[in-house]
Structure 1
Amino acid sequence: MRISERLSSMCVKSLIQSMDTQIMCMLAKQVIPGYDIHRQTGIPEGLAVSNRHVARQIVSDMIAGDHFPEFVALLIEMQDTGLMGRKYPVFFIDDVVRGMYELGFLYDRENRMFIDNPAFRYTRNWGALRNGIEYIVSFLRIDIVGNSELVRRHSAEIAQKTYENLRSIVYTASNKRNGRIWSWEGDGGLVAFFFSNKHLLAALSAMEIIHELYIYNLTQNILDKPLQVRIAVHSGPFDYTENEEELTRSDTVKRVMEIESNHTKPDTITISPVVKVMLDEFVVRKFKPTEAKAHSEFFYYRLGWENI
């Protein structure tokens, strides 16, 4: 991440005028465990490090380690809600936040972190999630029904165009709700939701995909039969990674894939109990318990005439 000299200088100025070196180092350790200002500056233990030197070193290290947004978020929290039972006034914090906005970030007060401003930035991790850190994520898994038959009955060009059209429908439905496509294999993929009511946003995206696919089959489908999909939505803990092999080893991802493949009928959305309890009443009423007793823990939505 490229941080301007003006923004880094403003952050240094904020630290110098807002706190002593002990508080600065305490903040740095919250972002980088084990942070040692003497080791970082090369100044021997026992010798004092000036307030200005500490501030510059910490800001430099935060930028170098790609921790700057996290550090600024900590400064905001320090002023708004306090740290260790005490609130601290942080001078020039509004100027620092303004600089983050100019970089394409918005501050999410609910999650206390900076995220991508969708008007300027679009990244896989919303500019916020960090590798190896556990988050609660809602996943939407979608897969084409009978993909092998689709490939066998149609030319590669028609199959590829169909995949692209489906991905476009999925992208449009999820992107407007701040979802991110984390994996796509042509005939289906995995979409992640993290902010706001992520469970509801994932379910609404799934419902929109089913509705849009109905219209697509009536007006744009180039296959010799309707394009059918299965969709599952499930939420749970996930250790963030950008490695797709590690992605599929996650228990939560395995679970949503298993729900989609084993407990979901064609043209149907299946949600887990974890998702259902987080939906508002209006949306919950659209989902029915699955018919089979063995699968009674799940709930499904299928497009019917009353929904069109």
Structure 2
Amino acid sequence: MFDASLVKDLAEMMGKSLTFKDIEAVGGYLFKDHGFSAHDLAGVDHKVSISPLNAARHLVEECERKGRLEDLFAFVFELDGVPLNGRSVRLEGIEHVLYALSRSGTYYDFGKRQFVEYGAGKKSLAGWGTLRNGKEYPIAVASVDICQNSELVKKYKPAVMEKVYYRLWDFLKHRLDIHDGRMWSWAGDGGLFAFRGDRREVAAVSCCLEILYGLPVFNLQPYKPIRDDICLRIGMDSGPVKFLEDTGRIVSEVINYAAHLEKKGTSPGALSVSDEVFERLPETLQSVFTAKLEFEGRTAHSSA
């Protein structure tokens, strides 16, 4: 579960975020030893100064030797945002450590306070096994809508359109998985996609363009139970979003702008993005957006 790189990241996070006194307090708690001493672990005189980073490394090594590494990880994760020795702990780089852990096939469930192995179910985690409830993160959001859906429902009846939605959902989910995106909501005729990470805008735009360019092939499939083509329009923005495990309850200006841009500023079959998204794209992807517009006081760019 914890490879050498992850263990090293934990020690460095502790060294940057905790004081020497904090680290000794963590060791005392884990080993039920009020006299726990980093100096004793290091084998040096108590008069010798030990940096928080070295104290953290010694504690990690001791936990490895005594089979308490999982307990250490869990205890340190739970320290973020809680008081310790008269101050509120802020773990620098905790998202990086949680994400590295998630890539190993395990995530830490803060609600249950335990590690969970998810294997093939990784892509179903709305927060990638990394985002914490109530915390704010930079997210690229895409609002997706089926054009003229009301007319299609009237023409083919809801029961038939439900089959279309199911097939479309499967088509969209496959593209999302490729780009490590998440479907935060889907209500049949549209939904919300989310992307995280340093290249979130590139991943989001690439994914959505693949969806739009792949729709003609989807429309040719014999399993699609209607003759009319499905057409989508997509609006996108990027910025800080407060994550909630119940993603349907997330309220954000980023989500609002993406939804408004999709509904009022995007043509059928097109992708529109805010200037914040556009500026973080390479020139090759920027070239797709041939139209520039002012929308709700901000600059946006559209593929049509």
TM-score category by the smaller chain?
A: 0.5 to 0.7
Alignment deviations for residues 243-294 of structure 1 (CA, whole Å, 9 cap, x no partner)? 23431x1111111111111111211111111111111111111111246898
Per the alignment, residue 93 of structure 1 pairs with none
What residue number does 1:179 align with?
181
CA spacing shift, 1:29–1:267, aligned 2, 3 Å: same
Q: How many residues align?
A: 253
Residue in structure 1 matched with residue 243 of structure 2 by the alignment: 240
TM-score of the superposed pair, with normalisation by structure 1: 0.65
* Aligned residue in 2 for 1:228: 231
SS in 2 for 1:298: strand
Deviations 1:194-234, CA, capped at 9 Å, x for gaps:
12411111111111111111222234443242222211121
Q: Determine the structure 1 residue equivalent to 2:36.
A: 49
Partner of 1:90: none
CA contact (8 A) 1:132 1:240 kept: yes
Identity of aligned residues (%): 22
**8 Å contact kept, 1:178–1:195:** no
> Which residue identity does 2:137 align to in structure 1?
Y
Cα RMSD between the aligned structures? 4.5
Q: Are residues 118 and 201 of structure 1, via their aligned partners in 2, closer, same or farther at CA, if it must alter by over 3 Å? A: farther
Distance 1:183 1:284 in 2: 27
Q: Distance in 2 between matches of 1:179 and 1:255?
A: 19
SS in 2 for 1:189: strand
Q: Against the structure 1 CA distance between its residues 35 and 242, is the aligned structure 2 distance closer, same or farther, given a 3 Å change threshold?
A: farther
Residue 63 (structure 1) aligns with: 74
CA distance in 1, matches of 2:220, 2:231: 12
C-alpha contact 1:169 1:212 (8 A) present in aligned 2: no
Q: 1:255 aligns with which of 226, 246, 257?
A: 257
Alpha carbons of structure 1 residues 166 and 120: separation in structure 2 relative to 1, 3 Å: closer
Q: Report whether the alignment pairs 1:266 with 2:274.
A: no
Residues 223 and 133 from structure 1, CA distance in 2 versus in 1: closer, same or farther, beyond 3 angstroms?
Answer: same
Which shows bigger deviation, 217-226 or 250-259? 217-226
Q: Distance in 2 between matches of 1:60 and 1:255?
A: 42
TM-score by length of 2: 0.66
Distance apart, 1:59 and its partner CA: 5.5
Unaligned runs of 5+ in 1: 78-96, 107-115, 303-308
Q: Which moved more, 1:129-138 or 1:118-127?
A: 118-127
Shift in Å at residue 176 of structure 1? 0.5
Counterpart-to-counterpart distance in 1, 2:207 and 2:219: 18
Q: Deviations over 1:164-198 (max 9, x none)?
A: 12212211222101111111111111111112411
Structure 2 segments unaligned to the other structure (5+ residues): 42-57, 80-89, 108-116
Structural mapping, 1:36-115, within 5 Å: 37=26, 40=29, 48-51=35-38, 60=71, 62-63=73-74, 103-104=104-105
Shift, 1:138, TM fit: 0.8
Report if aligned partners of 2:184, 2:248 keep a CA contact under 8 Å in 1. no
